[in-house]
Amino acid sequence: MCDLLVAYEFKRGKRRTIGFVVGPEGLAVRAPTWVALRDVDAALQERAHWIVKKLDETRERHQRLIEQRIEWRDATLFPFLGEQVKVVLDPALATAALGALFAAESMPLTLSLALPQSATSEQIRDAVQAWLMRQAKRIFAERLDHFAPLLQVKWRKLTLSRAATRWGSATVDGSIRINWHLIHLKMALIDYVVVHELSHLRVMNHSPRFWETVASVLPEFAALRRQLKDDSVLRTGS
């Protein structure tokens, strides 16, 4: 048995067998119209280890998309909220007790790090990612606070996730998990994931009522959803 809780999209259709598809948004289950739900549950339990393995493989592939394309050094560029940010190594920041300084008004945008020119690629990568995760926690919380009242729900806890097979998840107790890599993408895509997870606090499935809930505050959600399914959003940050 697998103790991992995995949400999935479920649809019935004209087919002969129960099918499982693991993609960028997670697990999708398809079943014939005549199959009982208990049989679907049994099939899920039987394939649980395969499903988890495929989800892990997809997560690892997505996590490598950005990291493999960035050479972590002075003057390198990385995506943040859909824009390119330039890394500047500035050891003088250490004397001012600053780990990082973001210049939002400069062109290009710059992130100065309190690191020497001799810093290794691993040190630069870790410093940038630590800064990105701080920004992710702040910005995701702000967007949750913005959309929760519109959807008439309350969220209780935000956790950053690395599970890139899914951009986010929600539980009935109001706990929200959002993939921190989302901070690389433009705000509209962040808003879609935030609204998606908050909507689950009202409807804990992907039924028509769920999508109506999403559309009530984000009418353009379908186009944003298609963008998130495209691996290029991670490669370009746009």
pLDDT, the chain, mean: 86
Check if the beta carbon of residue 214 is closer than 8 Å to that of residue 199: yes
What's the pTM? 0.70
> Residue 228 has which token pair?
């998130």
Instruction: Please check the confidence at residue 231 and state whether its pLDDT lies above 60.
Output: no
Region 90-113: what's the mean pLDDT? 85
Instruction: Please check the confidence at residue 164 and state whether its pLDDT lies above 60.
Output: no
**Residue ranges of the domains in the chain?**
8-67, 77-236
Instruction: Please check the confidence at residue 211 and state whether its pLDDT lies above 70.
Output: yes
What's the pLDDT at 232? 46
Q: Which has the minimum average pLDDT: 131-140, 207-216, 223-232?
A: 223-232
Instruction: Give the 3-state secondary structure of 138-157.
Output: HHHHHHHHHHHHHHCCCCCE
Q: Which has the minimum average pLDDT: 39-43, 65-69, 89-93, 207-211?
A: 65-69
CATH 3.40.1710.10 assigned to 77-236: no
Q: What are the angstrom distances between the C-alpha of 125 and each of 79, 128, 129, 131, 208?
A: 13, 5, 6, 10, 42
Count the residues in the chain: 238
**133-139, Cβ contacts within 8 angstroms, sequence gap of 24 or more:** 133/160, 133/180, 133/183, 135/80, 135/183, 136/160, 136/178, 136/180, 136/182, 136/183, 137/180, 139/81, 139/183, 139/190
Confidence of residue 5 (pLDDT cuts 50, 70, 90): low
Per-residue pLDDT tens digits for 178-190 = 999 899 999 999 9
Region 132-157: what's the mean pLDDT? 97
